[in-house]
Structure 1
Amino acid sequence: MKKQLVFMAALLAFVFVLSGCSSDNKTVDKKTAEAIDISEYFPSIGMTREYIHYDTEGQTVESIETVNVSTDSEGNDSVYIHEKGGVTTETIKEYIVSSEEVKLVYLINTLGNNETAVVELANKPKWDKNDANKSVGMMTATGLTMEVPAGKYNEVIEITSVIPEDKEGKTIHYYAPGVGLIKTVFSFKDTKDFIFNELKSAN
């Protein structure tokens, strides 16, 4: 627990510097983006994913996520990811997943329970993420091959998030079919890119 608190403090200080960062980015064309079934880039129901999280001092913590589905009394399915470990110790995220977008609609963690409408993924060249920072999401590459500790993945898509008012940096997420997020990178204008997390395993 102490290690997680130290890691969290170092990371929050780093993210505070990053927050608000943006940069000019070239997106994929509309036809390419719309041809992608975004639901394929959400992890499969029942999957367990392990991540390694890094901080700027070289410290690491690991987290485990499980993907589940529940059905309410009216027969509606809710997809959620339950994370243990990592920066916030325990988090539950509920999603609406379609072929056009992946939207985070509910978040439970140590800070409380919150309804949201954050569009994490969309089959568009560019979209408003609808988060607290007024970020913009962009699909900046498709068809990538990427290797992380969990293995090599093909047909990876690159999603870049920026805040329009700032020109110093960006956050880049990489997603693989059937697995979802495999890597997150913080990129600054004048410094070396910083890997925030990588997929360690997926079963």
Structure 2
Amino acid sequence: MKKHLMFMAALFTFVLVLSGCSDNKTVDTKTAEAIDVSEYFPPVGMTREYIYYDTEGQTVETTETINLATDSEGKETVYIQEKDGESTKSIQEYIVSKEEVKLIYIINSLGNTETAVVELANKPKWDKNDSNKSVGMMTATNLTMEVPAGKYNKVIEITSVIPGDKEGKTINYYAPGVGLIKTVFSFKDGQDFIFSELKSAAN
């Protein structure tokens, strides 16, 4: 377990370093607003398996389950519970609507944290409201993509950048009815590194 946490910590650091900025063209406003981003969040009851890669060729696999909860005000929220084997690694709580997918609470080994990170929005560009002051952009729609879990259509591409940092960018791909299927780091020199891919998804 300790080795796994060290591996994931190293990968997380890698994410922060590479979420830099470069020139990106967003989709037009009409195209973005026509997207119902709630369709790109996994349904309650789904189990997803991911493969994470590092630059040394090592991999780690994790399993996520999507569940429904009611908060203290009686509002329904969904949460993703991530596990490494039998051990819970994190729990992430979301508010999901047609306009945005917002991460509002995280429970992990570091403690309990309230957030308001907008991971998806039906806009060409938005402030993600994370600690890095990242900007999210919808940079492509209606893509077809194949990952270990299978082939997906109507995939959207979301690019995240940190203003002022020109080292690279983070690109996430989302498929309808499944959610995140692939994460890629793109360096300023044009080299790409696959950080994670969806291995399987089942209801």
Return the TM-score normalized by structure 2.
0.93
Q: For 1:47 and 1:121, how far apart are their aligned partners in 2?
A: 19
Can you list the C-alpha shifts for 1:66-90, whole angstroms capped at 9, x where unaligned? 000012465421210000129x961
Match of 1:8 in 2: 8
Counterpart of 1:4 in structure 2: which amino acid? Answer: H
Residues 9-38 of structure 1, C-alpha deviations (whole Å, 9 max, x = no match): 54245335325x111100000000000101
Question: Is 1:48–1:64's contact at 8 Å kept on the other side of the alignment?
Answer: yes
Tell me the equivalent position of 1:157. Answer: 156
Match of 2:147 in 1: 148
Per-residue CA deviations over 1:41-95 (Å, capped at 9, x if unaligned) read: 0001100000000011100000000000012465421210000129x96110000
SS of the equivalent of 2:137 reads: strand
2:112 corresponds to which residue? Answer: 113
1:17 aligns with 2:17: yes
SS of equivalent residue, structure 2 residue 78: strand
Q: Relative to structure 1, is the Cα distance of residues 12 and 92 closer, same or farther in structure 2, using a 3 angstrom cutoff?
A: closer
Deviations 1:143-177 (A, max 9, x none): 00000000000000000000111122100000000
Tell me if the contact between 2:81 and 2:88 (Cα under 8 Å) persists in the aligned partners.
no
* Structure-1 separation of matches of 2:176 and 2:16: 31
Instruction: Give the direction of change, closer, same or farther, for the CA distance of 1:6–1:191 in structure 2 (3 Å limit).
Output: farther
User: Match of 2:30, SS?
Assistant: helix
Q: Determine if contact 1:11/1:56 at 8 Å carries over to the other structure.
A: no
Letter in structure 2 aligned against 1:71: T
How far apart in 1 are the matches of 2:139 and 2:108?
30
Question: Which amino acid in the other structure matches residue 103 of structure 1?
Answer: K
Percent identity at matched positions?
Answer: 80
| SS of residue paired to 1:79 | strand
Q: 2:79 aligned with 1:80, yes or no? A: yes
Answering whether residue 56 of structure 2 is matched by residue 57 of structure 1, we say yes
In the TM superposition, residue 191 of structure 1 has moved relative to its aligned partner by 5.2
1:118-161 alpha-carbon deviations (Å, 9 max, x no partner): 00000000000000000000000000000000000000000000
| Gap runs ≥5 in structure 1 | none
Corresponding residue for 1:134?
133
Distance apart, 1:190 and its partner CA: 1.4
After the TM superposition, which of the residue ranges 161-170 and 145-154 deviates more from structure 2? 161-170
Match of 2:47 in 1: 48
SS of residue matched to 1:80: strand
CA 1:191–1:2: 2 relative to 1, 3 Å: farther
Distance 1:190 1:72, change over 3 A: closer
Relative to the length of structure 1, the TM-score reads 0.93
RMSD: 1.8
Deviations 1:165-201 (Å, cap 9, x if unpaired)? 1122100000000100000001101152111100000
Q: Structure 1 residues 70-79 or 98-107, which shifts more?
A: 70-79
